[in-house]
Amino acid sequence: MITLEHVSKAYTAGIPALNDVSLHIDKGEFVFIVGDSGSGKSTLIKLLLKELDPTEGVITVNGRNVNKIRRRQIPKFRRKIGVVFQDYRLLKDRNVYDNVAFAQKVIGESNKHIKKRVPVMLSMVGLAPKYKSFPDQMSGGEQQRVAIARALINEPEILLADEPTGNLDNNNTWEIMKLLEEINNRGTTVVVVTHNLEIVKVMKKRVITIKRGTIVSDTRMGDENAN
């Protein structure tokens, strides 16, 4: 599903942001990526989305060698990857329905299909009654749910979440984590970048820790019992 083989990324001369990283994430896994600020987590996400190219190494996502994807093939490649960010990135001048529908419009889905599909996604994230609300009228947790619905509406195989609970209080953080777990239980591979070690501890998933651009540990549920 996701494979990195000896991947490095240097922005400038000096210590690379990622340094000889190899990892494999299987279809259906739920993985946390943790590490201090500046350790290379966002760089890794950008490489997976082909927003950046590696300086060295091979990246495979959904069976495609990302290095070999041509510029014009990038939109199609990204369709199979849902992404959510800390700051939600919703369209402020569009309501909830339109924000979610937008992801389908850009890939040319028919209005008929969109009208059926958007309410299904909004129900899944618990926001069906709020379809007419605008982002500014919603809590952070609700906005993140809209972002998740938008990320999933085109049925991606992978959901990448970069600090999805970074702006949320404790309650909303757990609600979003439960939702991500549910999405994973339905078969989507979920990769969550976070600073929040509390959630990582409680969720008991695979945890990849990055330090100064290198993977320093990769543990699975239950491994931590040894400590």
Ligand X SMILES: Nc1ncnc2c1ncn2[C@@H]1O[C@H](COP(=O)(O)OP(=O)(O)OP(=O)(O)O)[C@@H](O)[C@H]1O
**Cα distance between residue 93 and residue 210, in whole Å:** 38
Residue 17 interacting with ligand X (CB under 6 A): yes
- 62 Cβ contact partners less than 8 Å away, ≥ 6 residues apart: 1, 77, 80, 81, 157, 158
Residue 211 interacting with ligand X (CB under 6 A): no
Q: Say if residues 153 and 23 touch (Cβ distance below 8 Å).
A: no
Number of residues that bind ligand X (CB under 6 A): 11
In the three-class reduction of DSSP (H, G, I as helix; E, B as strand; rest coil), residue 176 is classed as helix
Least distance from ligand X to the Cβ atom of residue 212, Å: 8
Least distance from ligand X to the Cβ atom of residue 30, Å: 20
Least distance from ligand X to the Cβ atom of residue 94, Å: 27
Least distance from ligand X to the Cβ atom of residue 46, Å: 8
The binder of ligand X chosen from 40, 82, 135, 164 (CB under 6 A): 40
Least distance from ligand X to the Cβ atom of residue 39, Å: 4
The binder of ligand X chosen from 6, 38, 185, 211 (CB under 6 A): 38
DSSP string, 77-108: HHHTEEEEETT----TTS-HHHHHHHHHHTTT
**What tokens does 9 get?**
């990324």
**Cα distance between residue 107 and residue 125, in whole Å:** 22
Least distance from ligand X to the Cβ atom of residue 16, Å: 8
The binder of ligand X chosen from 42, 99, 143, 172 (CB under 6 A): 42
- How many other C-beta atoms lie within 10 A of the C-beta of residue 200? 20
In the three-class reduction of DSSP (H, G, I as helix; E, B as strand; rest coil), residue 31 is classed as strand
Residue 35 interacting with ligand X (CB under 6 A): yes
CB nearer to ligand X: give 43 or 143.
43
- 159 Cβ contact partners less than 8 Å away, ≥ 6 residues apart: 81, 82, 83, 84, 148, 151, 152, 180, 183, 188, 189, 190, 191
CB nearer to ligand X: give 17 or 101.
17
Residue with tokens 């990055």: 210
Residue 209 interacting with ligand X (CB under 6 A): no
Residue 86 interacting with ligand X (CB under 6 A): no
The binder of ligand X chosen from 6, 11, 24, 216 (CB under 6 A): 11
Residue 187 interacting with ligand X (CB under 6 A): no
Residue 39 interacting with ligand X (CB under 6 A): yes
Q: Which residues bind ligand X (CB under 6 A)?
A: 11-12, 17, 35, 37-43
